Amino acid sequence: MQEIVNANPRLRRVLYTAYAIVGLVLGSTQVGYSAAELGSPAWLVVALAVYAFVGTTLGFTALAKVQAVPVETAKAD
């Protein structure tokens, strides 16, 4: 699976976008429960924990694919 993801930038983009959307939905749900002063349901607590754990893996994968290039600064004349 890693070879497929590493060799396919479009697939990585789709995976990262899906991960971001899932995070938006989970985070919004958490904020909604909190704003209504309701206790967070167990499924949401578990989902947020798993989401954070998976995020570490995606973050390291993203880091491995980033090519660090020095930024040229504009010279003031």
Indicate the pTM of the whole model: 0.67
Looking at residue 60, its pLDDT comes to: 76
Looking at residue 68, its pLDDT comes to: 56
Of the candidates 47, 74, 55, 67, the residue with the CA atom closest to the CA atom of residue 15: 55
Q: Hey, what are 8's tokens?
A: 């396919």
Low-confidence ranges of the chain (pLDDT < 70): 1-7, 65-71, 73-77
